[in-house]
């Protein structure tokens, strides 16, 4: 009898909670702006089951039914999909300031120094400072001309690596991207970070490449905690634990480089972006060591050459 009473109480509480949740959801929906059309979501998981193993193809198919601007609910996250060039232009050009910030996710929190890099930092004064520094010291015409010798030297290293391979088959696309990656790395911090595997390689370079490959793999993993916040603390897939360990490895690697530069810059002029960033610490556009490391991380791990390197390793 007592068991039946307890069971009835649990069922009544669950039904009452569901009823209250439904009423509050409808009130919020009535007071909020209308969302674009989209498929009806499932309870809790939303539209996640409808995306399948190839989400981009599933979204394209849904756009044919619901139009070029559609709404999906991925778990508890509301997602608006721009499925045509005209709609994407509205997001990226006409209203770019409203959509510049990225949604929170485990990778940005646990790897990218808790949203302190240029990719995941929220739109605001610090993000504009990061963009200003990058545009002035990395992508300007003067910066490109100042580091012309770096690109020339890396092309020479590539040619010698190809010549040294002799009759051995090589992956030319991968080697070209290693060349581009090392050119960027030398501009950023005066150090080559990837080897060609021809005639031996630098142990530190191979360690860094392994970390970047692991980061790309983890970045492509579907993390259920990003879409159902109640499950984030449990880390059911073990993704967050792997990200924390990888962040520690990256932080140790970048901290050693920053500390070495602080010592070396006392004896020589500014020869790379890292030296420039360190010199700005006492000025108006000052950056903390954490922000400097976050900028180094994003410039090395989120540019096209590395994505191609990852593709050549895994596909």
Q: Model's pTM, two decimal places?
A: 0.78
Ordered by where they begin, the domains of the chain are: 2-101 (no CATH), 125-314 (1.10.630.10)
Does residue 196 carry a pLDDT above 60? yes
pLDDT for 17 equals 64
DSSP 282: G
pLDDT tens digits along 158-180: 999 999 888 889 888 888 888 88
Can you say whether the dihedral through the CA atoms of 32, 35, 40, 41 is positive or negative?
negative
For residues 41 and 73, give the distance between their C-alpha atoms in angstroms, rounded to a whole number: 6
Residue 303 has which token pair? 């540019």
Does residue 212 carry a pLDDT above 90? no
pLDDT tens digits along 113-169: 999 988 889 988 988 988 888 888 888 888 889 899 999 999 999 999 999 888 889
List the one residue out of 105, 110, 124, 106 whose CA is nearest residue 297: 110
- C-alpha separations of 140 from 137, 147, 275 in Å: 6, 11, 17
For residues 134 and 131, give the distance between their C-alpha atoms in angstroms, rounded to a whole number: 5
48 contacts 79 by C-beta, under 8 angstroms: no
The torsion angles phi and psi of 250, rounded to 5 degrees, stand at -60, -45
pLDDT tens digits along 55-102: 989 999 999 999 999 999 999 899 999 999 999 999 999 998 888 888
Query: CB neighbours of 79 closer than 8 A, spacing ≥ 6?
Result: 71, 72, 73
DSSP 199: S
pLDDT for 307 equals 43
């Amino acid at each position: 009898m007592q068991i039946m009473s307890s069971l009835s109480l649990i069922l009544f509480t669950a039904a009452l909670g569901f009823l209250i949740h439904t009423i509050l959801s409808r009130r919020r929906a009535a007071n909020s702006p209308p969302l674009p059309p989209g498929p009806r979501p499932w309870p809790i998981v939303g539209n996640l089951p409808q995306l399948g193993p190839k989400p981009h193809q599933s979204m394209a198919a849904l756009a044919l039914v619901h139009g070029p601007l559609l709404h999906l609910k991925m778990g508890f996250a509301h997602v608006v999909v721009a499925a045509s060039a005209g709609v994407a232009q509205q997001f990226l050009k006409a209203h770019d300031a409203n959509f510049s910030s990225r949604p929170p996710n485990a990778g940005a929190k646990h790897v990218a120094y808790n949203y302190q890099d240029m990719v995941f930092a929220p739109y605001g004064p610090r993000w504009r400072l990061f963009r200003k520094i990058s545009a002035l010291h990395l992508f300007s015409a003067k910066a490109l001309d100042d580091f012309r010798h770096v690109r020339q030297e890396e092309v020479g290293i590539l040619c010698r690596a190809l010549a040294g391979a002799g009759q051995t088959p090589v992956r030319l696309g991968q080697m070209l991207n290693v060349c581009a990656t090392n050119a960027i790395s030398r501009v950023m911090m005066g150090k080559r970070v990837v080897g060609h595997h021809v005639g031996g390689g630098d142990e530190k370079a191979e360690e860094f490449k392994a970390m970047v490959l692991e980061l790309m793999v983890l970045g492509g993993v579907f993390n259920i905690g990003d879409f159902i916040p109640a499950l984030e603390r449990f880390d059911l897939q073990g993704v967050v634990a792997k990200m924390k360990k990888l962040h520690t490895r990256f932080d140790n690697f970048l901290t050693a480089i920053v500390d070495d530069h602080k010592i070396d810059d006392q004896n020589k002029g500014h020869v790379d972006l890292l030296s420039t960033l360190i010199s700005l610490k006492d000025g108006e556009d000052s950056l903390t060591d954490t922000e400097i490391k976050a900028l180094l991380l994003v410039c090395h791990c989120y540019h096209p050459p590395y994505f191609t390197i990852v593709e050549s390793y895994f596909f």
